[in-house]
A and B are shown apart, each in its own frame.
Chain A
Amino acid sequence: MPGNADTLTTIAALKSVSKRYGSVTAVDRLTLEIRRGEILALLGPNGAGKTTSVNLLLGLAGPTDGKAELFGRAPRDVAARRRIGAMLQGAQLGGHARVHEMLALYSGYYLDPLPRMETLRIAGLEGLENRPVVKLSGGQKQRLLFALAICGNPELLFLDEPSAGLDVESRRGLWAAIRRLKEQGRSIVLTTHYLEEADALADRIVVIHCGRVIAQGTPAEIKNTVAQRHIRCVTGLSAVQVKMLPGVTAVNSDGERLDIVATRPEHVLFEMLRLDPALQDLEVTGAKLEEAFLALTDDNREAQAA
């Protein structure tokens, strides 16, 4: 399907949607388009409005203002829902029904569900069909939620924090499954607060903060915006001098070494070596994603203030 003219088709959208709960504005005039065949990651810190955006697209929340559309219909339209699947955050499955019974029930909601074995295989639940849901481990329940989301053979899949609470190995498995679903031509919207996850999976990342879109683009573009490095070294230059260099966002000194945070480490280093050829004990490391995030949201705040 890639390369197909279909890839430009918008299949779901939020059109200048606001959602207020009392005096709290969870989503603020947010516009979002989901295109056929893409994996779109909604990236942002907790409380940014990612889940509310998904809930608006799913019809779980009604917009205070603006319009949400799913396949050109209202999200609460049953016909639109037959074409989607959703894995919701914090849904606690339980009960004495067996895995295959629950799958059969949920598959039955759809016109053309996936064969049971395929759902089980994609979700990594093979061999657990006969286990009562209540006896599944936390990770297995998470995989069952995933299975329930995909069992209807959805064209568009919503995954709200799909890897929350998964160990590293399960997360890898989930990522592989998500990529395979995309290869089958499905569109996927996932929310995450890990840049790493968005980077690994998404074709397009939309960064949401305080209910607004503050950046969007390919993972490479987003990473460039937020790419920051720590430069640590012993140098004769003062912190004030270094702070003046273009691309430097912060400088800390522990008395012996300088710790420089920079968006363009190559340029900064070049300048520093020019000014101080005796610079030594050099170490360049990637900034933590949280710091990158903060930088992005700080930029945004400054941009808004300006």
Chain B
Amino acid sequence: MNTVTAKHWSWQDTLGVYLREAGFQFWELVRMPGFSLPTLAFPTMFYLFFGLIFGHSGSGSITTYMLGTYGTFGIMAPALFGFGVSVAMEHERGILALKRVVPLPPMAYLFAKVVMAMLFALVIVILLFVLGAVFGGVVLPRREWLGLAATLVLGTLPFCALGLAVGVRTSGQASAAISNLIYLPMSFLSGLWVPLRFFPHWLQELATALPAYHLAQLSLGIIHMSDNSSFQQHLVYLVVFTIVFLWIAQRGWRRIQDR
């Protein structure tokens, strides 16, 4: 018993807690094959099929374009499933309550999950970049490689907010189902699988309402392949989208805080 102790809690201790929590969450997900395999395999597989095998024209323009679109497709999964669904699951299993009675700073849990989603996104981005550079003839200035990677990794944030908004309102099972219903149709409708210019006009209009469309266009803008040039408009949309869904998530989060 140490009712009297010389030790004090320092900011380094707090930092350590944040980092360990994030590391633990990351490895938990990596070791969960039901999550990590599809999350890593689908974007790389699609990129391999549609970009490298069917789309390879030799110039590298299609494979470069698809880095932006499949990159966006790839980073959405850890945000929606690794973050949102896992919060719903842990809430359902009483783990969230356990995390709340330990002296974990209230935000550390969510922070850890966001960092984990970003780390996962980074792994996906690196896999796609390697495939593109080695097999797809993608050549970009270093500045653009880094800019694209940063955009995609930070691009998990709006989808983390969306995932959390769903996750705090639903059971684990339901949030997985709902997230899939958001993920796959939104990917298609945002032109992540098939470029939007092959879509009828009204579907192209619809796409502008979707966050995945804006992130893809933002990413393509970095590598000068955007369908339009309104870089700021996409950024503003994503920031507003993130704030709105964080607000929605926060209300649900507060509700599940009271057992």
List chain A positions with a Cβ less than 8 A from chain B: 52, 55, 58-62, 78-79, 81-82, 84, 86, 88-97, 101, 104-106, 108-112, 148, 152-153, 155, 158, 184-186
Contacts and interface: CB of A to CB of B under 8 A. Distances in A.
Nearest to B10: A111
Nearest to B5: A112
Contact of B97 (A52, A91, A111): A91
Contact of B7 (A78, A95, A109, A112): A112
Contacts of B8: 111
B94 A111 contact: no
Contact of A84 (B20, B97, B101): B101
Given A112-B2, A184-B1, A81 B98 contact: no
B95 A152 contact: no
Contacts of A92: 93-95
Given A60-B101, A111-B9, A153 B258 contact: no
Given A110-B103, A155-B1, A185-B1, A101 B98 contact: no
Given A59-B101, A186-B1, A96 B7 contact: no
B102 interface: yes
A184 B3 CA distance: 12
B147 interface: no
B17 interface: yes
A295 B164 CA distance: 48
Interface residues of B, number: 31
B24 A61 contact: no
A109 B94 contact: no
B189 to A, nearest CB: 34
Q: Of residues A79, A81, A86, A109, which shows the largest number of chain B Cβ atoms within 10 Å of its Cβ?
A: A109
Chain B interface mostly: loop
A98 to B, nearest CB: 10
Of the candidates B24, B100, B103, B257, the one having the most CB atoms from chain A within 10 angstroms of its own CB is: B103
B18 to A, nearest CB: 10
Contacts of A94: 93
Contact of B95 (A52, A78, A91, A96): A91
B181 interface: no
A106 to B, nearest CB: 6
A52 B179 CA distance: 32
Interface of B: 1-3, 5, 7-9, 13, 16-17, 20-21, 24, 27-28, 31-32, 93-95, 97-98, 100-105, 257-259
A55 B259 contact: yes
A93 B99 CA distance: 12
A244 B105 CA distance: 63
B97 A88 contact: yes
Centre residue among B1, B31, B104 by max chain A CB count within 10 A: B1
B94 A61 contact: no
Contacts of A158: 101
A111 B140 CA distance: 49
Given A82-B9, A91-B93, 19 more contacts: A61-B258, A78-B104, A78-B105, A88-B97, A88-B101, A89-B94, A90-B94, A91-B94, A92-B94, A92-B95, A95-B28, A96-B32, A97-B28, A106-B102, A108-B17, A111-B7, A148-B98, A152-B102, A185-B1
Chain A interface main SS type: loop
A97 B95 contact: no
Contacts of B100: 59-60
6 contacts: A59-B101, A78-B104, A92-B93, A95-B32, A111-B7, A153-B1
B24 A105 contact: yes
Contacts of A59: 100-101
Q: Which of A92, A93, A95 has the most CB of B within 10 A?
A: A95
Contacts of B7: 111-112
Nearest to A21: B258
B21 to A, nearest CB: 7
A185 B28 CA distance: 36
B104 A91 contact: no
A94 B93 CA distance: 9
A108 B20 contact: yes
A261 B32 CA distance: 58
A153 B5 CA distance: 12
A97 B21 CA distance: 12
